[in-house]
Structure 1
């Protein structure tokens, strides 16, 4: 995808000051845009931040930069939705899916402890599957996956084919899960939103795909979770560089359905 220039457009918004000054995280977003569409991309992210259920931000940063690397195309992960009646049932299912993906139970238990230790986490925690310990040094900031997108027309084509809601939430989550789990060091991922009104989360992995779970936290809870279970024998600096810097576009065609 080098016939025209593409730009990485990023937004972060917080309340009571910037994130690094202790401000409460409100919203974040990622897009890849052509130069001609930059105004629309910025306006989309601006609207997302100004209308978020976590509150009204008093700090926002929107920036864009030219992507000089070749953009990698990735197929979206296989998608399934698991309906559960309670948070307890949802979290039991999440643990089961993580174990099926190859994460030892003790490492999963340690990961849930880390969730409680970092209630205001803004990015992802990287957990070594072999001992359950955190292996990034980002503290409350975490690791933020960046430079990724899915053209809306192609996403809607995919959603219509599989009779999946054309939800911006699903699109953004699946793009991120696809990028993260495309790296050989990723064993699995656990995520739920910090949006107090959205209780659906997911487990994702190469062999299970993107498994949505309808109740992974209580309604009204503003604490999110994003944990990447990683093969700790891998080069972690290179892995983080992939998450933060390698540009990807998710793209699907009907012939990919099988």
Structure 2
């Protein structure tokens, strides 16, 4: 038996139902690792650079091994850009290569740059028309219940790369789950952590393109847009993102 650990931290709002998103974390662990992972995510919620949370929710639930789907870690390449403009230009080109229309890519960027604060979840966008299709407003669709299949092997795969930080570890896992969903064309993301300016475009076709500068340092707003094929069953797609347990496998070296 395995256990899913989910942490969500917010600041402000009654019982955490509204207010500002501070932090989130996802783990799937063996029973003997529950306590140490709960402590780790609790510390993260209390010490996050986006501020001190006044509502922290941690959920622990069992996951039947028969329920788990497996998918591979995406191949990673890095774009060492120096400016936001250059980074976003590279991201737009990556979206076009992946199969997102120019109109949809432009709308995806406009959705992210128009955000007044970070969203907890992702926006789902038609990869041809650019219209948002999830109907979840400022909340978005949370991609949840995922982790690496073998934490030790994952650490070894990352040890001799520039990608050893927590941001990269979690982003690679999330992007792999999203790319494995039937209907995914590409994902565009940059972080809401103020001092973490790196973002990415990921796709089933071309893997994970890590783009070193996607926003200005100090900007506390980030988010993600997932572009899906027009024929996708949106309700089934959202159910996969939110509820399907996924473990990501990797082969050494990354």
TM-score, length of structure 2 as denominator length: 0.94
Match of residue 66 from structure 1? 62
Aligned twin of 1:249: 247
Q: 1:8 to 1:123 in 2, by over 3 A?
A: same
Q: Which residue of 1 aligns with 2:206?
A: 208
| Offset, 1:19 | 7.9
Q: CA separation in 1, counterparts of 2:15 and 2:222?
A: 16
Q: Deviations over 1:22-51 (max 9, x none)?
A: 311110010001222111111111111111
CA contact (8 A) 1:128 1:135 kept: yes
Paired residues for 1:181-196 under 5 Å? 181-196=179-194
Aligned counterpart, 2:112: 115
Q: Distance in 1 between matches of 2:68 and 2:40?
A: 22
Unaligned runs of 5+ in 1: none
In the alignment, which residue of structure 1 is the partner of 2:26?
30
Cα shift readout 1:63-87 (whole Å, capped 9, x = no counterpart): 1111134222221000011111100
* Post-superposition CA distance 1:157-184 (Å, at most 9, x none): 2113x63432221110000000000123
Task: Tell me the residue number matched to 1:88.
Answer: 85
**In 1, Cα distance between the equivalents of 2:13 and 2:36?**
26
TM-score for the superposition, normalised by structure 1: 0.92
Give CA-to-partner distance per residue, 1:139-167, whole Å, 9 cap, x none. 1110001110013312112113x634322
Gaps of 5+ in 2: none
Aligned twin of 1:156: 155
Task: Say which SS state the counterpart of residue 134 (structure 2) adopts.
Answer: coil
In structure 2, C-alpha distance between the alignment counterparts of 1:232 and 1:64, rounded to whole Å: 35
Local SS of the residue matching 2:6: strand
**CA shift for structure 1 position 13:** 0.5
Contact in 2 for aligned 1:19/1:25 (Cα 8 Å): no
88, 98, 102: which one aligns with 2:99: 102
CA root-mean-square deviation: 1.6
Give CA-to-partner distance per residue, 1:186-215, whole Å, 9 cap, x none.
000000100001000000011211110011
Corresponding position: 1:79 with 2:76: yes
- Out of 127, 136, 139, the position equivalent to 1:138 is 136
Residue pair 2:10, 2:16 contacting (<8 A) in 1 also: no
Equivalent residue for 1:15, pick from 11, 36, 46: 11
Distance in 2 between residues matched to 1:170 and 1:60, nearest whole Å: 23
Cα offset for 1:117?
4.1
> Does structure 1 conserve the Cα–Cα contact (< 8 Å) formed by 2:16 and 2:55?
no
Cα distance between partner residues in 2 of 1:80 and 1:119:
30
Mark the CA change 1:112 to 1:142 in structure 2 (over 3 Å): closer, same or farther.
same
Cα distance between partner residues in 1 of 2:115 and 2:83: 23
Please give the secondary structure, in 1, of the residue aligned with 2:128: coil
